[in-house]
Chain A
Amino acid sequence: MINPLLYFVLFLKASLFSSGGFSNLPSLHQDLLGAHWAVDAEFGEALAIGQISPGPNGLWVISLGYLTYGVAGALLALIAIVLPALLVLAVAAIYARIARWDWVSGLMRGISLAVVGLMLTVFWTIMHQQSTDWTGWLIAAAAFGLAASRCVNIVVILALAGAAGYVLYR
């Protein structure tokens, strides 16, 4: 039997001590498996769905919540990811206080540069998570070009990529 309060606390803890959408995985994996409230396969499935469904990849925990505890699980997981995000208001308030100091602008520039590196790393990780051959690179390049052209809706781009996958890899 799942204890809803403890279940919520486990999700909240994982989210509070994570940074980015996937880093709450180890904590949840350990806790939910330990309590016998989830099985290993549910994690893989939830991660895959987080990557296709709309919204942040971090919504994979919604899928995990749904798989392990139905609609109630999804709702508890949702509250658990929204609450820590509100802490950004405190971070922004601190930033507003120190923004006038000279070194802070340099600091934020450094972080912005690292953010670009982070995005490029995500690109690299996605391309390498499965055996991607030249056809995969071609699809990535085409999606980049179509998105950059601004004339094609993202949903259409992904549908075209899915159709290409169907033709190429079936």
Chain B
Amino acid sequence: MKRRGSAGMAWALLRVWGAIGLQSFGGGASTVLLIQRTFVERRAWITAEEMNRFWGLCLLTPGINLVALTVLIGRRLGGARGVAASLAGLLLPSVAITCLLTAGFKLVQHSAVVHAVLRGVIPATAGIMGLVALNMAWPIVKTARREGARALAISLALMLCATLALSALRLPVAVVLIGMAALAVFVLP
């Protein structure tokens, strides 16, 4: 990454996060996908492994994980100014649009057309979420494959266990996180 002055970096972060805050219609799924694409793929400011580690730390923090992720990425790239620029960039446009949609929704909420359109949009956000999951699984699978068949098999089995524990057994997220963390300490290198 090219080194820039911290003020230059703060402006760059404000612009980049602003673009995410404006375009990420479809809620969290679109937002995470755009973050992965912008910071990991296009600009390569952050590695996929680092992104996964950040996300893990965000899950251990109260409140909205994506806002905490914004704080971590902002700090990593631009220090305290980076945090402020990143939060402002992501939240000002998205909060403004949320308010406008809220004001507009009252007028159209009973329209059959709006319901039909939403019924199309919601599965699309699920598809985007599937891609986000795949992007997060990729660096983990790559590392495990380097370590051999056993590590790969264990990693895939743990991923499956976590999914089933959350979706079929409906265990609380905190319980699954702690359980998986404890299991991994014993079974993974």
Further contacts, 17 of them, CB under 8 A, given A55-B95, A119-B129? A52-B101, A54-B97, A66-B99, A78-B91, A85-B71, A112-B53, A112-B140, A113-B155, A113-B162, A114-B181, A117-B159, A117-B160, A120-B163, A143-B127, A154-B23, A158-B25, A161-B124
| Residue of A whose beta carbon sits closest to that of B98 | A53
Say yes or no for B142: interface residue by CB 8 A criterion: no
Option from A49, A89, A127, A166 in Cβ contact (under 8 Å) with B116: A166
Task: Report yes or no: A115 in contact with B56, Cβ–Cβ below 8 A.
Answer: yes
- Residues 140-170 of A contacting B (Cβ, < 8 Å): 140-145, 147-148, 150, 153-155, 157-158, 160-166, 168-170
* B165: A residues at CB distance < 8 A: 117
Say yes or no for A123: interface residue by CB 8 A criterion: yes
Task: Report yes or no: A46 in contact with B102, Cβ–Cβ below 8 A.
Answer: yes
* B27: A residues at CB distance < 8 A: 50-57, 59
Option from A67, A86, A136 in Cβ contact (under 8 Å) with B102: A67
Interface string of A106-144 (1 = CB under 8 A from B): 111111111111111111111101101000110111111
Instruction: Report the bound CA distance from A55 to B30 in whole Å.
Output: 8
Task: Report yes or no: B57 in contact with A126, Cβ–Cβ below 8 A.
Answer: no
Distance between B25 CB and nearest chain A CB, rounded to angstroms: 5
Say yes or no for A4: interface residue by CB 8 A criterion: no
| Residue of B whose beta carbon sits closest to that of A142 | B127
Instruction: Report the bound CA distance from A168 to B99 in whole Å.
Output: 29
Distance between B57 CB and nearest chain A CB, rounded to angstroms: 5
Task: Report yes or no: A18 in contact with B123, Cβ–Cβ below 8 A.
Answer: no
Please count how many residues in chain A sit with their CB below 8 Å of the partner chain's CB atoms. Answer: 93
Which of B59, B68, B120, B158 has the most A CB atoms < 10 Å from its CB? B120
Interface extent on B, as a size class?
Answer: 35 or more
* A120: B residues at CB distance < 8 A: 130, 133, 163, 167
Say yes or no for A95: interface residue by CB 8 A criterion: yes
A residues at B contact (CB < 8 Å)? 15-21, 24, 45-46, 48-59, 62-63, 66-67, 71, 74, 78, 81-82, 84-89, 91-92, 95, 103, 106-127, 129-130, 132, 136-137, 139-145, 147-148, 150, 153-155, 157-158, 160-166, 168-170
Distance between A71 CB and nearest chain B CB, rounded to angstroms: 7
Distance between A55 CB and nearest chain B CB, rounded to angstroms: 3
Distance between B104 CB and nearest chain A CB, rounded to angstroms: 9
Task: Report yes or no: B123 in contact with A81, Cβ–Cβ below 8 A.
Answer: no
Instruction: Report the bound CA distance from A29 to B31 in whole Å.
Output: 26
Option from A63, A113, A129, A137 in Cβ contact (under 8 Å) with B158: A113
Distance between A48 CB and nearest chain B CB, rounded to angstroms: 8
Task: Report yes or no: A154 in contact with B26, Cβ–Cβ below 8 A.
Answer: yes
* B134: A residues at CB distance < 8 A: 148
Task: Report yes or no: A110 in contact with B180, Cβ–Cβ below 8 A.
Answer: yes
